[in-house]
Amino acid sequence: MLYSDEVTISSLAPYLDSTKTNVLVCGSLNTTLASNIAKTLCENPQYKTTLIGMPNWDGIRQLDKLDCNSLEVIYSTPYNFSRTDSAGYNISQSYRDKFYARPSDMVYKGYEAMYHFTHLLLDYKYDFINHLSENKYTVSNNFYIRPVTLQDASFIPAYLENQNLYFVKKVNGQVVSVTTLSH
């Protein structure tokens, strides 16, 4: 257990084995902590490690700068955008032409959400809620939206959640694979 953002090899070493590949699960949304753990593991290559993290890790730029063969970083995300396919390229070019800047992931997420849900709303004005997972208006990602109940006996869901996930694996700051969680 780590109780601060400060990470040293002495705080991690009791949980690591230099003769095997280690798997560390970091269930914290604290991006500073995640960056510090990754940096510390890279500085100690005797501990080959797979570091599994949270969905917000896709925004940690320090993980893209790692130059480290002894560390794999894996995190989940409900979005996986290709900026090289025609849709991704067109979104990128339109954004650059209008704002003279590179679009962030929020641009792609916003465009996809508006495109997907607006078309479904137009098609199913009175039954929209039952068609949220239809994927006939996809841009890059399929949606698998399901109700989540917080109490076992509750008939009414607390909220709806996209349960389609991608697992992204990075080595040396580069994405080496993306796997879809099948439902």
- Record the pTM: 0.77
Q: How far is residue 81's CA from residue 90's CA, in Å, rounded to a whole number?
A: 13
Task: Render pLDDT for 126-135 as a digit per residue (tens, 0 to 9).
Answer: 999 999 999 9
Higher-confidence residue of 115 and 174: namely 115
Tell me 83's DSSP state: S
Q: Tell me the pLDDT band of 2, cut-offs 50, 70 and 90.
A: low
Q: How far is residue 99's CA from residue 65's CA, in Å, rounded to a whole number?
A: 26
What mean pLDDT do residues 38-62 have?
93
Q: How far is residue 132's CA from residue 110's CA, in Å, rounded to a whole number?
A: 16
Q: How many residues are present in the chain?
A: 183
